[in-house]
Amino acid sequence: MQIGPRYKIARRLGPGVFEKTQTQKFQLSEARHAHGKKSDKRPKALSDYGLQLVEKQRVRFSYGIIERQLANYVAKATETKGANSAEKLFGMLENRLDNVVYRFGLAHTRRLARQMVSHGHFVVNGKRTMVPSYSVKIGDVITVREGSKKSVLFTDVPKKLQNYSVPKWLSFDAEKLTGTVTGTPALELGGLFNLNTVLEYYSR
Q: Say what the pLDDT of residue 184 is.
A: 96
3-state secondary structure 86-116: HHHHHHHHHCEHHHHHHHHCCCCCHHHHHHH
Mark whether 29 and 69 lie in a shared domain: yes
pTM: 0.80
pLDDT of residue 45: 79
> Which structural domain range is residue 62 located in?
6-33+46-92+195-202
The domain total for the chain is 2
Query: Which contacts qualify for 72-75: CB closer than 8 Å, 24 or more apart?
Result: 74/198, 74/199, 74/202, 75/202
CATH of residue 125: 3.10.290.10
- The domain that holds 68 is classified in CATH as 1.10.1050.10
For residue 142, give the nearest of 183, 101, 90, 109 by alpha carbon. Answer: 101
Same domain, 137 and 150: yes
According to the model, what pLDDT value does residue 44 have? 72
Q: Which residues of the chain have pLDDT under 70?
A: 1-43
Same domain, 67 and 114: no
**Tens digits of residue pLDDT in 21-50:** 555 554 555 455 554 555 555 567 779 999
